[in-house]
């Protein structure tokens, strides 16, 4: 589990093809102080398992399913990537609950510079409309952000200067492919409703009908 608050920007040192997958070597600094084999690290919002590491880099293996659902096919040597280690129980949850399980890829539709911020609009597949709401949480390339506006299959986020400077969001341009993870809670509610585990009355009505103590 992650928060969507990027710890540092790493750099791809090498990429090796492994049948339908990739072995990816990432150079990092800050996060390497306690990284070990079997740790989970989110790379551009994709949860990966460390299979080897030394003092300044670590290796992961992206399998076929990861390649199908993410923008990892676009990675190359020297690409910059967002990095976040898995959260701990004593970590402030400053972003939102992020699994590192990418739902789909989106396409940057526009990047607009405003006075103190940047507006980034992203198009995404139609079937995911139900998982995003205005001012709801959205994870883009591992960065926890808020959907300022939602218009059909396009949403817009407002990026503060700090986020623009310390994540790979600042490198986005029109046409770029990004990893998207939608809010976890909506997916669970949908699943429960499909199997009839939620009564027809609303959750608020259920709460109101509880015996008073």
The predicted pLDDT at position 212 comes to 55
The predicted pLDDT at position 195 comes to 83
| Residue pair 10/81 in contact by the 8 Å Cβ criterion | yes
The predicted pLDDT at position 211 comes to 61
The predicted pLDDT at position 92 comes to 83
Rounded Cα distance between 130 and 151, Å, is 12
Rounded Cα distance between 50 and 21, Å, is 15
The predicted pLDDT at position 191 comes to 87
- What token pair was written down for 3? 């928060």
Mean pLDDT in consecutive groups of 10 residues from the start of the chain, 213 residues: 96 95 97 96 98 97 97 96 94 89 98 97 97 96 97 98 97 98 90 71 58 56
């Amino acid at each position: 589990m992650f928060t969507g608050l990027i710890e540092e920007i790493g750099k791809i040192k090498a990429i090796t093809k492994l049948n339908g997958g990739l072995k990816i070597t990432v150079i990092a600094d800050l996060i390497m102080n306690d990284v070990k084999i079997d740790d989970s690290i989110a790379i551009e919002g994709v949860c990966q398992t460390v299979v080897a590491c030394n003092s300044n880099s670590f290796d992961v293996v992206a399998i076929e399913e990861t390649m199908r659902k993410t923008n990892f096919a676009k990675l190359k040597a020297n690409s910059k990537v967002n990095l976040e280690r898995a959260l701990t129980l004593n970590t402030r949850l400053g972003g939102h609950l992020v699994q590192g399980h990418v739902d789909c890829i989106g396409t940057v539709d526009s990047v607009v510079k405003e006075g103190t911020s940047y507006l980034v609009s992203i198009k995404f597949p139609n079937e995911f409309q139900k998982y995003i709401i205005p001012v709801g949480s959205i994870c883009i390339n591992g960065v926890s952000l808020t959907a300022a506006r939602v218009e059909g299959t396009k949403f817009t986020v407002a990026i503060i200067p700090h986020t623009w400077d310390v994540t790979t969001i600042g490198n986005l341009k029109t046409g770029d492919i990004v990893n998207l993870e939608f809010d976890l809670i909506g997916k669970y509610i949908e699943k429960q409703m499909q199997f009839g585990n939620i009564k027809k009355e609303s959750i608020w009505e259920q709460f109101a009908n509880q015996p008073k103590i």
